[in-house]
Amino acid sequence: MDVRVRYAPSPTGYLHIGNARTALFNYLFARRHGGSFIVRIEDTDVARNVDTGVEDQLSLLRWLGIDWDESIDKEGGVGPYRQLDRLEWYRHYAEALIESGMAYRCYCTDEELEAIKREQEASGADRFHYPRRCLDKPEQDAPYAIRFKVPDATRYAFDDLIKDTVTFQSEDIGDWVIMKRNGIPTYNFACAIDDALMKISHVLRGEDHITNTPRQLMVLDALGFKRPIYGHMPLIVDKDGRKLSKRSGSVLQYISQFKERGFLPEALFNFIALLGWSPDAKAEVFTPGALVERFDENRLSGSPATFDAGKLHYLNHQHIQRLELDEAVALCRPFLESEGITEDKDPAWVRELVSLLQERLDYGAEIVDLYHAFFKGPFTLETEAREFLAATDGAATLLGDLKGRLQALDTFDADAIKQAIKQAGKATGMKGKQLFMPVRIAISGRMKGPDLPRMISLLGRETVLQRVSKTLDTLE
């Protein structure tokens, strides 16, 4: 079987973490099996389409590292790849279903349909079933929709890659609209036709689509098309087990948000791949290429996937550590520039700053917070740090000695500063933690931080001497 899979976004919104997972798993599946990955645009919900929705979807997929073989920009012989450009196909197959008796024209107005719905609700019906009022009506010169005639007492079953065998009964589904009065197809009808004509072999999508599957199977079976193999992935949930939705408060969910905060595309690719899939290894940090090699659809999970922001930060941190310095600088520079931090700094200073803080970064924008924490102030001693100094005999003597040595240095670089600290330690009999911790506290106000001599060098002599003096005043 030639593997052909698709990602079919609607331009009614922007690329969300759930949509991205669907695209990514289809991409991995296609690449793993040497197949084709198609991106088609399902743009028939005209009223809700966003002007830049298509551009956002495609540009962010590219940013993530997901490419495709066929789409609106890559013809593959089964286009067009926008549904609004395929209306003649939908009309053709809808008319074919009418001719075969599997569909019929429905002339009911919205008001009539609403009245039927109220009657059914009043009688205790839990769902709307169209009562086939127009089934045998002769053709009229009036607006009409086209309804699929659902077969009576028919069982629809399919083998799902993730959920095993899934069954539905036709009586649970009333005759449904396949073409609206405005000539636009409904989602399930257009989707089924497109999957058939584009020769889609496998459909991997979220389990919220599973109730759409029987309607799509009805259309495929009625027209004599081959069914694709389906795989419905479980929902993505938050840390409390609730469905991750576009209204889930403060949780970052749009791919553009991650990009804007300086998450690496390869790290986000890595993270999304582990939302509902597990590799055959204990490792969690993978490049996109390694994930393609390891991907196995049989390891897709049937359990909800938890969106763990901590794990995303961990993975992004690991990928940042793999960056060359030039790459890390390119990641961080825009954030430093946007805060005006680099205005009066030369490129060498920026490189040294990024080099110093790279090991502490979880994402690019964090460089600004780290800069302010260690370099910009306001300089204060944390409670734990103040208590440590107070309990360290000789701390004031050490800092006084070091202050004089730093003031006298000819060159204020990391090597000279390191020697000055060692000399102050020898002169005062301080060593180890009793030497380096008071110095760190006097410089940063904290007990943890980046490499001490390099941090002191970047701060500059004037700032360092001011901080040491302030710390000495505190001790006195």
Contacts of 239-247 with CB under 8 Å at 24 or more apart are: 239/306, 239/307, 239/308, 241/304, 241/306, 244/17, 244/18, 244/307, 246/13, 246/16
Of the candidates 447, 441, 451, 448, the residue with the CA atom closest to the CA atom of residue 472: 441
CATH number of the domain bearing residue 436? 1.10.10.350
Please say which residue of 233, 262, 292 terminates a domain: 233
Please say which residue of 201, 217, 233 terminates a domain: 233
- SS3 of residue 430 by DSSP: coil
Q: How far is CA 245 from the centre of its chain?
A: 13
What does each C-alpha distance from 278 to 229, 265, 281, 305, 306 come to in angstroms?
21, 20, 8, 11, 13
Establish if 304 belongs to a structural domain.
Answer: no
What does each C-alpha distance from 463 to 135, 371, 418, 455, 460 come to in angstroms?
85, 14, 17, 11, 6
- pLDDT at res. 250: 57
CA atoms of 262 and 274, how far apart (whole Å): 20
Establish if 117 belongs to a structural domain.
Answer: yes
For the annotated catalytic residues, the residue numbers are 246
CATH number of the domain bearing residue 141? 3.40.50.620
Task: Print the domain residue range for 126.
Answer: 86-233
Establish if 132 belongs to a structural domain.
Answer: yes
Whether the CB-CB separation of 61 and 23 falls below 8 Å is answered with yes
Whether the CB-CB separation of 214 and 173 falls below 8 Å is answered with yes
- SS3 of residue 146 by DSSP: strand
Whether the CB-CB separation of 218 and 185 falls below 8 Å is answered with no
Establish if 13 belongs to a structural domain.
Answer: no
Establish if 159 belongs to a structural domain.
Answer: yes
For 405, the token pair is 């040595």
**Whole-structure pTM value:** 0.92
Pairing of strands 236-237, 305-306: parallel
Of the candidates 391, 323, 209, 467, the residue with the CA atom closest to the CA atom of residue 332: 323
Q: How many helices (H) and strands (E) does the chain have?
A: 19, 11
Establish if 180 belongs to a structural domain.
Answer: yes
> Total domain count for the chain?
2
Establish if 58 belongs to a structural domain.
Answer: no
* Cβ-count burial 336-357 (b if 16+ within 10 Å, e if not): beeeebbeeeeeeebebbbbbb
Q: Which residue has the tokens 């804007």?
A: 260
Q: Point out which residues pair with 471 in neighbouring strands.
A: none
Q: Point out which residues pair with 104 in neighbouring strands.
A: 147
- pLDDT at res. 173: 93
Residue ranges of the chain with pLDDT lower than 50? none
Which residue type does 393 have? D
The 10s digit of each residue's pLDDT in 331-381 is 999 999 999 999 888 999 999 999 999 999 999 999 999 999 888 878 999
CA atoms of 122 and 134, how far apart (whole Å): 22
Whether the CB-CB separation of 147 and 175 falls below 8 Å is answered with yes
Sign of torsion over alpha carbons 158, 160, 166, 169: negative
Please say which residue of 233, 254, 284 terminates a domain: 233
H or E stretch covering 160: strand 155-160
Establish if 406 belongs to a structural domain.
Answer: yes
